[in-house]
Structure 1
Amino acid sequence: MPPRVDEEITFRKLEVLLAFMQCGNLAKAAEALDISTVSVHRALHSLEKGMRCTLFRHEGRSLTPTDAAQVLAEVAGEVIKTMIDGIRATREAAGYGSEHLKIGSLYSLTIRAVPEIVTVIKSRRPDLQAELILGSNADLLDKLKRGAIDASLMAVPSYDSEIESIELFEDEIFFAAPIGSAYGQHDAIDLRQCRDEPFVSLSEGFATSGDFLEAFRIADFTPNVVMKVSDIFSLINLVSGGVGYTLLPGRVRDLFAHKIMLIPLCAEYDMRQTIGLSFLRRRERDPNLLALATVCRLTIKGQQAS
């Protein structure tokens, strides 16, 4: 059986020892720890009792550390650091966050929702280091499952026993054309009338690319896709430049109204993306994620009301 540590020796008392060694006297150590001088003296005396050797010499009203105290302080610093690291690792393994929060997001959500959400979460938790990681829905879901991100703002994935999602809002899919296009005169677009038109689309894995494929499945023809890109901003620029038409979510309208038109699709093509906050179900009680979920709900509610 390994040697046992005397019950008089505790992490708290080792912290008192370190404070005393750094501050140089009882009063300053007590102030640093926000406890009484008597409590500091009692903790140091208890440590001596547990160590069964002299740690301090009394010189008048002062305590002077011995070489033994110096050795114990060095070990105590390493022990406490290791324990703090261990606590952090244990909490993360159990699904509780650290001071770092990695938030995944679709590119299109950075237009309005994400900047406000990040700003608010930082104001509520100033010590929290937030990192934003952009990608397609498929890429973000993969990162979520691998633990590369903590949560993701994206189209709510189909049921998965590992994933918990909080629905935030629904977004309609529109036909996108450049400013001045003749299609702008239509109240609604029947994709069958666009059979001979060139199209551009997002690469596979994006929520909007899935809607694009589904719409043309309903239209019962394969569109002439002249180019695919990996972000929605490049896609919008291609449409604006007249390279091809595409389908886009309504959330991009406000920022790009000067470049493209978003025209409703006929009722048979009615499609909506459900956007939400997704995270691993085992981390549903993580305080960082609970705070993020609250901020997301309030932010989206405020934007919808404005």
Structure 2
Amino acid sequence: MAPLTVFALVVAVLAVSSSAPLIAFASAPALAIAFWRNGLASVALTPVALGPRRGEVRDAIRGSRRRAGMFCLLAGLALAAHFGTWMPSVQLGTVATSTALVATQPVWQGLIAAWQGRRPSAAGWTGIALAVAGAAWATGADVGVSGQAVLADVLAVLGAIFAAIYTALGEQARAALSTTTYTWICYGVCAVVLAAVCVTGGIPLHGYDGRTWAAILALVAGAQLLGHSMFNYALEHTSATTVSVLILLEVPGAALLAWLWLGQTPRAGALPGLGLLLAGVAVTILGAARANRRAGAPALAD
């Protein structure tokens, strides 16, 4: 890879690794943080969405691309469910376990593909089995800690499932819409849903101290905008498989930051399960990439 691509990937991994520690650090309800994270990101994209992309946005709302716009709406709902489950898990449990469990998204993605008729390969099923076993091991280690730790694990797994649904819906929307239009609509819908939940539940959206606002702004600039932008840039110069595997570095990166910054030492009993889980996710990703290459081989030969 070119030095600039390597630099982009390093920046992206560092940016997304800061997400969970910043959520744990902020003295604000998780759902409120999720609202501001998506709302401010949507505001940042507005000049482009309502400028050069205005025609595309109009088509997605009431024009020829309304079907894609509907997928954007559904993806925004799934994204709200993802943030509404995973972000509370970070505050209830440990950064290391919550980040590792939400990283099982590719496993659930494979099961969604199987439900759609695109069955995973043998390697994919092996990876799914390893990841599920690792998640069970890590969660079982938390049973002896507290009921709150187990709840955090369950919420993190639900966050991974909703992230997979969000990605599957986004795949349908992206077939007809640009990244900017899709993310602007999706983030906006997610923010509106989370705002409604916060207002209904009496969750305060303001009145935080300076360090909490700094953490929220760092989340928006880092994980939400910079991290994903750098990954998207790298996708133009390297394979999606490489990027997907490198994203797994978020797990040890977040654990290291939580240890250095928050004093959260990963529980020894959960570490073997987390290692098995990550190995399973990596095998799932690599198996899916190999199956895609084989499926594409005849078309290339023609």
Which of the two has greater strand per residue?
1
Structure having the larger proportion of residues in helix: 2
User: Which of the pair has the greater relative contact order for Cα pairs under 8 Å at 6+ separation?
Assistant: 2
Give the TM-score normalised by the residue count of structure 2: 0.22
